[in-house]
């Protein structure tokens, strides 16, 4: 009887909310832009606040991480299916309303939302836990509206409780940079004592380094980065060596994780792999500014001796859930810079220019 009354009250509340037009601030991407010539790809608008369906949560966003994937969306390498769209997929906020069928969360729960929004749930990939490979995979902030806004709706199955040890700004980068770095590390087949290379050292790279230092204490980490500041930052966090993308590692590496947006580091990384080593490419897309560099691949030099290349596709819900628990226990806390929601274009421009130290987070 009590359950019936609860469901009836929630049903009446939904009708009431849907009958009133509430508005929220949001940054919209209205078209594909060239960030070399466009300083403000996102525009601030007031749009209707979304309403949660039966199995969804309405979340008041408090923080949202800025990811390189947003640059890929803006510049059309992984374009949204329709415009306008709200970007952002490293979202932290509080549940303020629930659909009538929600059982996993309650009002005021602090939750996180990552790149994974939904999948079909029935294909071979979903059934074995690899929903990131599903043909019907939908991404937060690309296929549906994301977190560069005051509110977001999300299926309860795609939201995760945030450990209390993290502030909102600390938690946001964990939902993508951390989770995808965790998946990359799993795919690397790294064992304690192996040599690991990281090429590129932004939000994901620095979280992988922190995770490896804790999980594989006998592993030495070598960092390749074009920026001297990134190289210095890597050494401060415990790398044994750091050099330019074109530098030769002082020791051969069992595994390398690439988090860069371009092709050149892939070719150079292969030169530093041991026989049987694996290169894991952690990028949703690669820019084509240096694609001709691929012509320099020499089979004997770069691929022979059973070297492997493995790509990372999206992120599965289990990656987010597992990494949040691991990061909360250690704890692993990211370095980050905060920006106001209205300054998202500035944060994106700095990311495009390679001005990176840890992660960038929007405060809403």
Would 147 be classed as within a structural domain? yes
Q: 167 and 243: one domain? A: no
Q: Looking at the structure, tell me whether residues 166 and 202 fall in a common domain.
A: no
Strands laid side by side in the 308-311 sheet: 241-243, 220-224, 195-199, 253-258, 273-281, 308-311
Domain count, the chain: 2
Report the pLDDT value the prediction gives residue 322, as an integer from 0 to 100. Answer: 97
Say yes or no: 169 and 206 in one domain: no
pLDDT at res. 7? 54
Q: Domain span at residue 213?
A: 179-311
Q: What is the pLDDT of residue 292?
A: 74
Q: Are residues 233 and 292 in the same domain?
A: yes
Quick one: which of 96, 7, 117 has its CA closest to 50? 96
If asked whether residues 104 and 203 sit together in one domain, one would say no
Are both 250 and 287 inside the same structural domain? yes
CATH number at residue 342: 3.90.180.10
Q: What is the pLDDT along the chain (364 residues), one digit of tens a residue?
A: 555 555 555 555 555 554 556 899 999 999 999 998 998 999 999 999 999 999 999 999 999 999 999 999 999 999 999 999 999 999 999 999 999 999 999 999 999 999 999 999 999 999 999 999 999 999 999 999 999 999 999 999 999 999 999 999 999 999 999 999 999 999 999 999 999 999 999 999 999 999 999 999 999 999 999 999 999 999 999 999 999 999 999 999 999 999 999 999 999 999 999 999 999 999 988 888 877 777 788 888 998 999 999 999 999 999 999 999 999 999 999 999 999 999 999 999 999 988 878 899 999 9
Residues 267 and 349 grouped into a single domain:
no
Task: Express the helix, strand and coil content of the chain in percent, nearest 5 each.
Answer: 35, 25, 40
- pLDDT the model gives residue 191: 97
Give the CATH number for residue 252: 3.40.50.720
pLDDT of residue 97: 97
Q: What whole-number distance in Å separates Cα of residue 179 and Cα of residue 176?
A: 5
Question: Is 64 part of any domain?
Answer: yes
Cα dihedral 138, 142, 148, 149 sign: negative
In a domain, 8, yes or no: no
Cis upstream peptide for 331 (omega within 30°): yes
Q: Do 155 and 116 share a domain, yes or no?
A: yes
Asked, for residue 3, whether it belongs to a domain, the answer is: no
Residue 40 maps to a domain: yes
Tell me which residue of 241, 61, 30, 240 sits closest to 147, measured CA to CA.
61
- pLDDT for position 290: 77
Domain check: are 171 and 320 in the same one? yes
Q: Is residue 16 part of a domain?
A: no
164 belongs to a structural domain: yes
Two tokens, residue 100: 């009538």
Same domain, 221 and 270: yes
Last residue of a domain, one of 268, 292, 311: 311
Tokens coding 324: 């949040």
Beta bridge partners of 154: 57
**What pLDDT is attached to residue 20?**
58
């Amino acid at each position: 009887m009590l359950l019936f009354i609860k469901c009836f009250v929630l049903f009446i509340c939904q009708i009431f909310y849907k009958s009133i037009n509430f508005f929220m601030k949001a940054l919209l991407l209205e078209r594909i832009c060239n960030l070399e010539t466009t300083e403000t790809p996102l525009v601030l608008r007031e749009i209707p606040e979304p309403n949660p369906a039966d199995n969804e949560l309405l979340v008041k966003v408090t923080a949202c991480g800025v990811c390189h994937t947003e640059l890929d969306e803006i510049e059309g390498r992984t374009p949204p299916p329709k415009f306008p769209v709200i970007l952002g997929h490293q979202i932290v906020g509080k549940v303020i309303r629930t659909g009538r069928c929600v059982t996993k969360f309650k009002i005021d729960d602090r939750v996180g939302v990552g790149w994974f929004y939904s999948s079909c749930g029935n294909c071979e990939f979903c059934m074995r836990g690899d929903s990131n490979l599903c043909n019907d995979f939908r991404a937060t902030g690309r296929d549906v509206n994301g977190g560069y806004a005051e509110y977001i709706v999300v299926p309860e199955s795609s939201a995760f409780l945030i450990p209390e040890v993290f502030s909102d700004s600390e938690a946001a980068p964990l939902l993508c940079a951390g989770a995808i770095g965790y998946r990359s590390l799993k795919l690397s087949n790294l064992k304690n004592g192996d040599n690991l290379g990281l090429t590129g050292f932004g939000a994901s790279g620095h979280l992988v380094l922190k995770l490896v230092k804790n999980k594989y204490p006998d592993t030495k980490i070598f960092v390749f980065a074009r920026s001297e500041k990134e190289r210095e930052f890597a050494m401060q966090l415990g790398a044994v060596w750091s050099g330019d993308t074109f530098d030769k590692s002082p020791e051969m590496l069992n595994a390398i994780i690439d988090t860069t947006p371009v092709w050149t580091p892939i070719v150079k990384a292969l030169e530093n792999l041991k026989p049987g080593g694996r290169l894991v490419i952690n990028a949703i897309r690669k820019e084509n500014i240096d694609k001709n560099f691929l012509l320099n691949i020499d089979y004997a030099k770069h691929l022979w001796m059973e070297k492997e290349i493995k790509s990372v596709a999206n992120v599965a819900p289990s990656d987010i859930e597992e990494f949040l628990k691991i990061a909360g226990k250690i704890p692993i806390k990211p370095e980050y810079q905060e920006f106001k929601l209205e300054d998202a274009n500035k944060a994106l421009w700095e990311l495009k220019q390679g001005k990176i130290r840890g992660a960038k987070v929007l405060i809403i």
